[in-house]
């Protein structure tokens, strides 16, 4: 049993590094279905369930301290990539489709959670899941922390996310050959005359990592000081909002051009996910099927609302599909769907997914506080 707090952190860091390296360096099919971030959580939870980690004061303290400091730092770095200037230049159809996707996802979560009448903790977990499906896993962690989601409930949300996300990607890719039928139904032009050359500054610079880490930790410190001075709803929510706003402000400066922010933020995210998993011990999987079914119901309602919106506003399948997948799938999958139409449109999927980092936290908190209060 690990009782030393530093050895506890080291073990989780090695676990996260090993699984991420396997995903990047190998072509194992398992990572196409279950991303490394989910496996990191699952294995850290397995170690906790086997009693590898002691539940003493020292480990509890370093768990809280590490998570509290990394969370706002991660959000700040994630949001430095947002390029709102190019986003608003995407064009009327894509912007309308993106707005429709965000609103339909939020409404679907609210309706389904109310119908299933979940407990407050599970409802909060679905609020965190809404943050993921409007942004990404980083948003899910941020919203879950702000809503006080338990480690066990977070595990359920991760499983629901993984299963339904995989099915959703497969469905949208399967429907690509039938795009013309969809476009005829919605009476859209189905044109691919979107902006090309839109993207993000993704160049790497090893010497810049320390600058990014220093700025991120400074933002973390400022966010925590502000949150303890002026509290909005609760301390964690205030901290998340302050860090997010600072990240957005930073994206309008030359900080957005500093390469490597995504890589550093992802590293922080994986450590946070491993930390949360190390505190989860799920003893009852009996309700998991119900939660997965609820996630599927959310996607069905979202698809229905998107179809109605596409018909009303005469949107083509490309706009609707990429807008939906940029929210639910994020940077990892939206470009793939865009590339099935034209490789020059990959940047559109990337840009829409990156903006989700901004929308996901605020949208997830909005949904979360509504469903918890239902």
Question: Each residue of 25-45: pLDDT tens digit?
Answer: 887 878 777 778 878 888 998
Q: What share of the chain is helix, strand, coil (3-state, %, to 5)?
A: 80, 0, 20
Give me the pLDDT at residue 82, please: 80
Task: Indicate whether 317 belongs to any domain.
Answer: yes
Bridge partners, residue 2, by sequence: 53
Residue of 50, 1, 42 whose CA lies nearest to 19: 42
Q: What is the pLDDT of residues 32-89, one digit of tens each?
A: 777 788 788 889 988 988 889 988 899 999 998 998 899 899 889 888 878 777 787 7
Domain boundaries, position 333 = 81-259+284-372
Number of domains in the chain: 1
Task: Indicate whether 315 belongs to any domain.
Answer: yes
Place of tokens 């933002």: 219
Task: Indicate whether 93 belongs to any domain.
Answer: yes
Is the pTM value of this prediction over 0.85?
no
Task: Indicate whether 3 belongs to any domain.
Answer: no
Task: Indicate whether 190 belongs to any domain.
Answer: yes
Give me the pLDDT at residue 193, please: 47
Task: Indicate whether 357 belongs to any domain.
Answer: yes
Task: Indicate whether 36 belongs to any domain.
Answer: no
> Residue 167, exposed/middle/buried by CB under 10 A (0-12, 13-18, 19+)?
middle
Bridge partners, residue 53, by sequence: 2
Task: Indicate whether 88 belongs to any domain.
Answer: yes
């Amino acid at each position: 049993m690990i009782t030393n707090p530093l050895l506890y952190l080291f073990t989780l860091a090695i676990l996260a590094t090993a699984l991420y390296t396997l995903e990047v360096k190998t072509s194992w099919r398992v990572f196409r279905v279950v991303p490394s971030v989910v496996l990191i959580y699952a294995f850290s939870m397995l170690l906790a369930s086997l009693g590898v980690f002691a539940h003493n004061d020292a480990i509890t303290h370093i768990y809280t301290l590490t998570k509290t400091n990394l969370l706002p730092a991660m959000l700040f770095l994630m949001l430095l990539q947002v390029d709102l200037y190019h986003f608003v230049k995407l064009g009327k159809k894509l912007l309308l489709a993106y707005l429709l996707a965000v609103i339909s996802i939020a409404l679907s979560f609210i309706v389904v959670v109310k119908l299933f009448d979940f407990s407050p903790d599970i409802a909060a977990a679905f609020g965190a899941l809404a943050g993921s499906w409007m942004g990404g896993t980083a948003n899910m962690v941020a919203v879950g922390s702000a809503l006080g989601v338990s480690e066990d409930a977070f595990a359920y949300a991760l499983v629901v996310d993984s299963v339904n996300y995989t099915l959703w990607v497969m469905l949208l890719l399967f429907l690509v050959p039938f795009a013309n039928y969809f476009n005829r139904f919605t009476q859209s032009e189905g044109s691919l005359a979107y902006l090309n050359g839109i993207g993000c500054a993704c160049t790497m610079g090893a010497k810049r990592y320390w600058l990014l880490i220093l700025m991120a930790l400074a933002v973390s410190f400022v966010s925590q000081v502000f949150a303890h001075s002026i509290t909005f709803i609760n301390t964690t929510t205030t901290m998340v909002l302050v860090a997010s706003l600072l990240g957005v402000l930073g994206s309008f400066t030359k900080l957005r051009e500093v390469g490597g922010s995504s890589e550093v933020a992802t590293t922080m995210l994986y450590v946070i996910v491993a930390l949360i998993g190390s505190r989860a011990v799920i003893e009852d999987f009996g309700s998991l099927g119900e939660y997965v079914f609820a996630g599927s119901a959310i996607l069905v309602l979202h698809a229905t609302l998107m179809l109605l919106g596409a018909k009303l506003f005469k949107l083509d399948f490309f706009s609707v599909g990429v807008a939906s997948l940029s929210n639910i799938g994020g940077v990892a999958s939206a470009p793939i769907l865009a590339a099935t139409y034209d490789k020059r449109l990959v940047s559109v999927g990337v840009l829409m997914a990156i903006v989700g980092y901004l929308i996901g936290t605020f949208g997830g908190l909005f949904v979360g506080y509504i469903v918890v209060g239902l």
